[in-house]
Amino acid sequence: MRKISWKAAGVMAAAAIMLAGCGSSGNTQQEGTTQESAVVQDGSEAVEEGTDVETAENAGKSEDVSAENAENDENDKDAEKSVGGGETSMEKTSMEKEWKVSEHPFLKADGKVLRDNAGAGAVVQLKGTNAGGYLFQEFWMTVTRVSGSVGDETGLYAKLEERFGEEERENLVNLYQEHYFTEDDFDYCAELGMNCIRLPFWYRNLVNSDGQLKENWNERFDWFVEQASKRGLYVILDFHGAPGSQNGSDHSGKDGGDNKMAASQFFFGGNAAANQELYYQLWETIAEHYKDNPWVAGYDLLNEPFCTYRYNTPVSDDELHEHLWDIYDIAYDRIRAIDPDHVIIMEATWDPVDLPDPAQYEWENVMYEYHNYLYDDYNNENGQQIKNMKNKLDAIKIANYNVPSYLGEFAYFNNLEAWDEGMELINNTGISWTTWTYKVIESYGNWGIRNQKDLNVNVDLMDYDELVEKWGSVDQSKENTGLRNVLEKYYKQAYINAE
């Protein structure tokens, strides 16, 4: 990994990207290709009015659900290979992208759409996936299991350091990350026609246990953004786990079990102010580093604040809203003092009513983000997956905020027909979207575009060499072909104008 000139990367990247068609993995670039502005279709399909408020069952991904991808070949006798592995390289397809990578990729909000060329160019509809499980693990979907004192990334760091020391802990974490997302994965994402990857991170990716900034905090981020840019992929920097935890759930890096609100020390308790100050400082550091980078699509301020206890707390809606919106406003001001240009993304938990009219705070160049999960009717036997998503899109339309909308996380679970119908519903609105997620263990099937074997890594019991062996093999996965076939056609469709 190396530090690069973002301006140089922005100019050079377009010349290295395949514009149309796709071949096998690892062969998605060609030299000397002329880039053009994106093709955009107007007239998104209208969504009906009327909406239902989702329940807390729509929150979190760590529920004990059981999923299986029927499209995977159950008789596959081969071990999982890395994405670019010869025997598992993807079949060639004649499907071509209907959009092209901009020569001037810097995005800004223009009313309800994103435009390239710093807001003066063509409409860009972000379409991609999340790199979940990469910069920190969520044990329900990754190869490491809950064991003993290890129930989240905080516990994992503590146990590794207790057993092997701080230096070897860092070496093991780096080993896992180096193998989890590789250049072959970027090739694969580009081949499918994506133009964006949301990159979840937690605060310990940037700071040591004492809260001091790591000297090399930016190296892995830089590598990720550089590799993405070479393939015409934007990156959304997603603060998934804030200091102290913003929701007390495992996907923030700290799981509070049955008392997630008390574990949310980013918002509550005696350490909240210090945790929030560290959070602001980290965003300032990130903004200073990436302010000139055209391939960073935006700064996603805070993932799923409150999450599972959003509708199950003695604190009123008004109090929760005021608390969160004030934090967003401070983060906005501190980022804008350094970086006046990048899109700032604010998340609702879970509906548009959980975000203010941006004019109330005089926010500009912002995008509003929503997530959607329905664990009831998991197999869509009663059509509730589609109805639930339609309710979400209706609510976004009714709120009518004059900002771009972004569906940052969602899944339709087992039913591929629901995936197809639901993707058409989302894509035709013209809003940007990224699926959750790129890669999961096999038992969670359609949560991931790629599946990997569950290695049942036990950090309490496995010795150092066994951890090296297991985490050094997380680059091995196989394609979830059924889900790939559904998503690819929507990734490659022309952008739709949401205005």
Task: Supply the pLDDT for residue 7.
Answer: 40
d(CA 233, CA 227): 8
Residue 488 has pLDDT above 90, yes or no: yes
* Alpha-carbon separation of residue 426 from 13, 236, 349, 487 (angstroms): 29, 19, 19, 12
The reported pTM is: 0.86
Question: Which one is predicted more confidently, 39 or 239?
Answer: 239
Task: Supply the pLDDT for residue 499.
Answer: 85
Grouping H, G, I as helix, E, B as strand and the rest as coil, residue 343 is strand
The kind and range of the H/E element at 40 are strand 40-41
Residue 24 has pLDDT above 80, yes or no: no
499 closest CA partner among 116, 121, 113, 38: 113
| Beta carbons of 99 and 38 less than 8 angstroms apart | yes
Task: Supply the pLDDT for residue 95.
Answer: 80
237 occurs within a structural domain: yes
Report the range of poorest mean pLDDT among 15-24, 351-360, 464-473. Answer: 15-24
pLDDT tens for residues 76-122? 434 344 564 433 333 445 588 999 898 999 999 999 999 999 999 99
d(CA 100, CA 196): 13
d(CA 419, CA 485): 10
Supply the DSSP string of 328-341, one letter for each residue: HHHHHHHHHTT-SS
CATH number of the domain that residue 133 is part of? 3.20.20.80
Task: Supply the pLDDT for residue 74.
Answer: 41
Grouping H, G, I as helix, E, B as strand and the rest as coil, residue 278 is helix
Domain hosting 401: range is 6-496
Task: Supply the pLDDT for residue 83.
Answer: 62
* Alpha-carbon separation of residue 442 from 282, 323, 447, 453 (angstroms): 35, 39, 9, 6
Dig out the tokens for 218 from the structure: 């930016």
Task: Supply the pLDDT for residue 72.
Answer: 40
* Peptide linkage before 223 cis (omega within 30 of 0): no
1 occurs within a structural domain: no
Note the maximum CA span of the chain. Answer: 61
pLDDT over 90 percentage in the chain: 80
pLDDT tens for residues 426-479? 999 999 999 999 999 999 999 999 999 999 999 999 999 999 999 999 999 999
The one-letter code for the residue type at 159 is K
Alpha-carbon torsion (96, 99, 102, 108), positive or negative: negative
pLDDT tens for residues 28-85? 333 333 333 333 444 333 333 333 333 333 333 434 344 333 444 443 434 344 564 4
84 closest CA partner among 172, 191, 218, 200: 191
Section 390-416 average pLDDT: 98
Instruction: Give CA torsion, residues 282, 363, 122, 227, to 10 deg.
Output: 10
- State the average pLDDT for the chain: 86
How many domains, the chain?
1
Task: Supply the pLDDT for residue 482.
Answer: 98
pLDDT tens for residues 259-268? 999 999 999 9
Give the up-direction half-sphere exposure of residue 255: CA atoms within 13 A in the CB hemisphere: 20
SS3 string, 94-122, reads CCCCCCCCCCCCCCEEECCEEECCCCCCC
Give the up-direction half-sphere exposure of residue 351: CA atoms within 13 A in the CB hemisphere: 22
d(CA 348, CA 116): 25
Give the up-direction half-sphere exposure of residue 489: CA atoms within 13 A in the CB hemisphere: 11
Question: Which one is predicted more confidently, 32 or 380?
Answer: 380
Task: Supply the pLDDT for residue 127.
Answer: 98
435 occurs within a structural domain: yes
221 occurs within a structural domain: yes
pLDDT tens for residues 159-206? 999 999 999 999 999 999 999 999 999 999 999 999 999 999 999 999
